[in-house]
A and B are shown apart, each in its own frame.
Chain A
């Protein structure tokens, strides 16, 4: 399977995502430059972590205007798998591919630490290989990861089984402990934790690999 990893100016987890896919997962990954109008021949897209365009405005607010995001939107609307990690999640939200917003952490500080996530649904191409209710240990590293949305949106996300991960011990004040959500069509996932940092036994956890493995097996079914 061929993964495309988008590189925005300021992306800094692009290489980590590439490494997890190529070396830990054993699939193919290639970089896609931010002003590309085409994604090329990829089966899935990863929007990696970092500080796209410096994120001096709202995180992801500039990235949504990039040429590559037009291509990503089109790709998503055609059913392509899109995984947004950390800054990637923020970009998906800013682009309107996912609902809600990501605001400053409750404690107003950047937090880097491994956290426990509860797998809330396996009805998604990103978690079909996981066990429902399974607790995954995956690191977070963000200053603006507090998930926020209005009550109706939150109710809708829950009613439609679109909350994929919840924090066991909420680190950032996210409403209803939300760590990751799907779009309505279930082919776009955004999450604040970094599965690519939990894909190598040397990094202390391989719990993140299940996301990538799920993407591979759901592509195989297609």
Chain B
């Protein structure tokens, strides 16, 4: 290979300054293979060079946290000797280029992150963003992407045998050219059986297991670190192809091999493949690794060192075993019909040394490569904002038609069409699956359960990244509290545009700070996650979309679900009617769907009050006082009341709202810190609420049939529940068919 020219450096998305840094680390010019290695390790995707400085502002420790950021997944203690590992990751860029495989391999990647730690994956959730299905230009493509992404997730998760138990799906024009696919996974294991991605023990063998290496996915990490341009569609070969069956075998084989006690460290090969796993394991272990590429199982002939090192072929793992116990490991992998070969050994010189046909083709200090990546304090100004602060004068023509429009809108309508394609019950732990405020999975080993939810709100964050991020954390914790779980830890996926633009960088900084404030306040430290930048197509950035996943703990028991169970029960609005004004109303679904414009600010959040509402809710749930509970979010009180009426019992409600607020606000504002519940013991519920200093007006009763909402003598809504439910449940399928 010839000399490294500035064109070659630029083609690797390295700046001249970064190239200078490479020269000083090596003390010489890099080989072509080395340049490739640096380019992927120092890509935004792998190095977090734009975000690292600000990610330090997030709280990462807490009394449940056993492992914070820096490993393949965060780990928390759930008691009784058990722990859970969980993380969320994005697969946005591949999913736009090839929706089915992009989403499928997104699931595959996060599952490997979980079982690399030694945990068996027991739940998956997805946070999805698409352009509107009825978009005049992009509608047809958006439908195709949605269908592809959903079947990709289903294909991988169903075959692997992990239940997909929840998530969220939102449609905004900002995602027309850049859909988001964020996948969360959670696994369970004994807390003294955590495996780390560390290469230790001089002379220990480095073993490659799983799929053979092919030319797929080369430079995937770099692709995920650039904006979409006209040429991006040419990058289809960069997207990997997933094999969930192979991953299932890899899971069983890895867990079984770990039980032999012969494994010292293990890391999956995800982004940046063999490059990332070798240098990170060496760096974390304070050792070096030497590998011979001739020994790497290859799917194709004539692969160059560059290609082998940068391949992102799926379903591969690298592990370090105890010297002399290789056969124990090989025996397990043979049983599962998988390749397992020694490709190198652990050294003590701190170098990542790669040989090909016996010749050294790369020799780089692991630590410098993994940990001394460029770190940028990118300039940030005011967050980009296009919406006006003040909105139009308006007057609803019919609150009933408004409610119907909201229930049939993309963000609010039932997502049954999506989640019925996911096996959400396999492993028989799903106490509460999709469609609830939070998913609840029982842990058979401990007799307790884990609740989890994902939340993000790009519309709020576009108006104020800081407030939007805080609201996302608050809502996620509220989702958990509504099913009776105590939120204990979180993971985040930060989806933003190009950080080299100061107004985008400002969105990122503000969102991280807002998320940090809220996570600190709600005592849900961030134990890991992922940053996805350059989510732009042809210069158009997505709405800033920080997504948070929170996990909580609760005793195992029958779930507290959202639907009204029996007529004649009191309906209580825990947290009260909340507050709203014309600016705060501009961020609501009502503004978006009915008025077709967005302005102003996100709803106002009082974190202290929010925390008290959640504490009251958990106490009410623990005492078994609530028959149903549903948190208020998109669409406000009227939408929540309708959703509570859509249960199998068909029970509706008659509500009489005694509040001083214009009816549009009263019914549809999205002020947080509110939960709608039904109960046979309203007095006891109100007593608990009062003790927490929380309003809890009784706003009506459940009734056999119909949804009636009045205030101050005026009837705003009087509708048939069955018909409303059909509108809500059929809307997505209808939108896909038209």
Contact = CB atoms under 8 A, between A and B. Distances in A.
A117 to B, nearest CB: 16
B336 A9 contact: yes
A141 interface: yes
A112 interface: yes
Contacts of A111: 420-421
Contact of A19 (B243, B244, B444, B557): B444
Contact of B428 (A55, A113, A143, A197): A197
Interface in A2-48: 9-10, 12-13, 15-16, 19-20
Contact of B430 (A9, A194, A203): A203
Given A202-B431, A202-B558, A141 B425 contact: yes
Main SS class of interface, B: loop
Interface string A114-148: 00000000000000000000000001010100000
A49 B427 CA distance: 11
Nearest to B449: A202
A13 B426 contact: yes
Interface string A193-222: 010110111110000000000000000000
Given A53-B245, A110-B158, A202-B556, A16 B426 contact: yes
Most buried by A among B161, B244, B249: B161
Contacts of A54: 159, 243-246
B333 interface: no
Contacts of B420: 109-113
A141 B426 contact: yes
Interface in B145-162: 151, 154, 158-161
B129 interface: no
B442 interface: yes
B423 interface: yes
A141 B245 contact: no
Contact of A141 (B243, B423, B442): B423
A190 interface: no
A141 B428 CA distance: 12
B189 interface: no
Interface residues of B, number: 31
B534 interface: no
Contacts of B154: 110
Nearest to B442: A202
Contacts of A165: none
A201 B425 CA distance: 14
Contacts of A16: 426-428
B231 to A, nearest CB: 33
B245 A112 contact: no
A50 interface: yes
Contacts of B245: 9-10, 51, 53-56
Nearest to B434: A112
B249 A9 contact: yes
Contacts of A200: 428
B421 A110 contact: yes
Contacts of A109: 151, 420-421
A196 B429 CA distance: 12
B248 A10 contact: yes
Nearest to A141: B423
Contacts of B444: 19
B423 A110 contact: yes
Closest 6 pairs (CB-CB, A-B)? A12-B161, A54-B245, A141-B423, A51-B159, A16-B428, A110-B421
Interface of B: 151, 154, 158-161, 243-246, 248-249, 336-337, 419-428, 430-431, 442, 444, 556-558
Interface of A: 9-10, 12-13, 15-16, 19-20, 49-51, 53-56, 109-113, 139, 141, 143, 194, 196-197, 199-203
28 contacts: A10-B245, A10-B248, A10-B249, A12-B160, A12-B248, A12-B426, A13-B161, A53-B245, A54-B244, A54-B245, A54-B246, A55-B159, A56-B245, A109-B151, A109-B420, A111-B421, A112-B419, A112-B421, A112-B423, A112-B425, A113-B420, A141-B426, A197-B425, A197-B428, A202-B556, A203-B428, A203-B430, A203-B431
